DNA sequence: TGGTTTGTTCGGATTGAGCCGAACAAACAG
DNA sequence: CTGTTTGTTCGGCTCAATCCGAACAAACCA
C-alpha cells in the first residue's frame, strides 16, 4: 500500500534527522520535531506536535523554543493574536546550514583567533612557544577568511567556485 | 618575567584548545592533552602526560587512544621495540581539520544522502512527501560535492578559490 | 462566571559521558 | 627470579543533559 510506503519513507528521513541533530549539537527530540514540521503541510501547534511525536508537552515546549532561537523553525503567532502558537519548519536546508555555520563555526574560529593573537603578543621574542603559536595563528587566519566567504555564498555558488577553481 | 609570560600564553592557548575540542565532539581532556603535546619539543609518554596534565593514568591512556584514532596525535612506538610508547602532536592543524571534516561531516553527509535516496525511491510518485524529500536530496547532493572538493584543497587553495570566484 | 484548552516553568528520574582508582598484564632492570 | 615501570581494562562515582509529569498561568468558550 502506497500510504504505508510514504509513511515508512517519511519515518526513515526523520530518523536520519534525529541523527543529524546530534551532530549539530541538538537533541534527538529536536531532530524529530523538526522532521515532523518539515513534512507537515501546515504549521503545527504544541498539542499537535505532542500527538505526532509522543513527547511530553513540556519537552515540545522547550525544544520548540531552542529550535526557534537557532532558526530551524519559525513561530507563527496565530491569526487574531490568540494564544495558540504554531510552528513551521524552515525548509531551505541550506539556510539552516549557513546559520549553524555562522553561529557555531564562525564564532568558534573568531574567539579562538582572538585568544591566539593575545597569546602571541604576550610571548617573548625568542621563546620556544613563539613558532607554534604563530603557525596556529596563520592557519586560523586562513580559516576565518574561508568561513567568512563560504557563509556568504549559496550552495550552488559554493559548488561552482570549487569546481571551476584550478583551471 | 618572560618564562612566566610564555607559560601563561601557552596555558591560554591550551585552554582554547580544550574549548575547541568540545566543538569537535571531543572531551576537554582531549583538548588539553593535544595542547600539551602540541607545545612539547619532544614526544611524551603516558607518565609524562600524567605529570603535565594532572589527569589519571587511565584517562590519559583512553584519551591518547581516541586522539590517535582520529589522527590528532601520532603513536611513536619507542626505539628498540620497547614497551614505552610516546605520542607526538600532529602540528599541521589544517590536516587535522581536513580529517575531522572527512571523518565527521563527510560521513554524516553521505549516510544521510543514502537514506534520503532510498526514501525517495520508496515514496510513490504523487505522494505529498515526494517534493520535500527531493529538495532535501538536491541540497545534500550539493553539500556532498562541496565537502568532497573542500577536503582535497589546502587552506591556501581553498581561500584562493573562494576569493577569486566571481571577481 | 466557571470550565477547557494551550503554553511555560519547576522539580525529579534516568541516562550517558568523563574521569578516577584499583587491578591486571607486559616489559624491563637488578 | 624479584621488584619496578609502563600501559590497558574494569567498575564506580559524579555531573550534566534529556525527558517527564505536575503545577501554574493565560487565553478561549459556553
CA atoms within 13 A on the CB side of A46: 15
CB B49 within 8 A of CB B57: no
Residue B74 has pLDDT above 90, yes or no: yes
CA distance A90 to A112: 30
Q: Which nucleotide is nearest to A21 (CA to C1')?
A: D18
A161 at the B interface (CB within 8 A)?
Answer: yes
Give the CA distances from residue B108 to residues A48, B23, B101, in Å, rounded to whole numbers and listed in that order: 30, 16, 10
Q: What percent of chain A has pLDDT over 90?
A: 83
Instruction: Identify which of A97, A119, A153 has the shortest CB distance to residue B13.
Output: A119
> What is the pLDDT at residue A4?
86
* Max CA pair span of chain A: 75
Q: Report pLDDT digits (tens) over B1-39.
A: 577 889 999 999 999 999 999 988 899 999 999 999 999
Q: Report pLDDT digits (tens) over B77-132.
A: 765 555 689 999 999 999 998 888 888 889 999 999 999 999 999 999 999 999 99
> What is the pLDDT at residue A83?
61
- C-alpha cell read off for A144: 576565518
**A·B CB contacts under 8 A:** 168
**B104 contacts in A (CB within 8 Å)?**
23
CA distance B84 to A26: 41
Confidence grade of residue A79 (pLDDT, cut at 50, 70, 90): low
> What is the pLDDT at residue B79?
53
- Paired sense of beta strands B85-89 and A73-77, if any: unpaired
Spatial CA neighbour of A155 closest among B151, B113, B136, B146 = B146
Q: What percent of chain A has pLDDT over 70?
A: 95
- C-alpha cell read off for A37: 514540521
Residue A61 has pLDDT above 80, yes or no: yes
Q: Report pLDDT digits (tens) over A124-163.
A: 999 999 999 999 999 999 999 999 999 999 999 999 999 9
Residue B75 has pLDDT above 90, yes or no: yes
A8 at the B interface (CB within 8 A)?
Answer: yes
> What is the pLDDT at residue B23?
87
**B140 contacts in A (CB within 8 Å)?**
93
Taking the CA of residue B128 and the nearest CA in chain A, the distance in Å comes to: 8
Whether the CA torsion A34, A38, A43, A47 is positive or negative: it is: negative
* Max CA pair span of chain B: 75
B113 at the A interface (CB within 8 A)?
Answer: no
Residue A97 has pLDDT above 80, yes or no: yes
Q: Which fold, A2-89?
A: Arc Repressor Mutant, subunit A (1.10.10)
Q: Which of helix, strand or coil describes residue B82? A: coil
Mean pLDDT of B155-162: 94
Nearest CA in chain A to B131: A39
Amino acid at each position: 500500500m502506497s500510504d504505508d510506503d510514504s509513511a515508512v519513507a517519511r519515518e526513515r528521513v526523520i530518523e536520519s534527522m534525529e541523527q543529524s541533530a546530534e551532530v549539530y549539537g541538538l537533541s534527538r527530540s529536536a531532530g524529530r520535531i523538526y522532521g515532523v514540521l518539515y513534512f507537515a503541510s501546515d504549521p503545527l501547534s504544541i498539542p499537535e506536535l505532542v500527538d505526532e511525536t509522543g513527547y511530553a508537552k513540556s519537552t515540545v515546549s522547550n525544544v520548540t523554543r531552542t529550535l526557534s532561537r537557532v532558526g530551524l523553525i519559525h513561530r507563527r503567532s496565530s491569526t487574531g493574536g490568540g494564544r495558540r502558537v504554531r510552528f513551521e519548519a524552515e525548509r531551505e536546508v541550506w539556510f539552516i546550514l549557513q546559520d549553524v555555520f555562522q553561529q557555531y563555526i564562525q564564532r568558534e574560529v573568531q574567539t579562538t583567533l582572538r585568544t591566539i593573537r593575545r597569546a602571541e603578543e604576550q610571548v617573548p621574542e625568542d621563546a620556544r612557544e613563539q613558532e607554534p603559536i604563530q603557525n596556529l595563528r596563520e592557519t586560523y587566519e586562513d580559516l576565518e577568511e574561508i568561513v567568512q566567504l563560504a557563509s556568504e555564498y549559496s550552495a550552488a555558488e559554493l559548488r561552482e567556485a570549487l569546481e571551476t577553481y584550478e583551471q
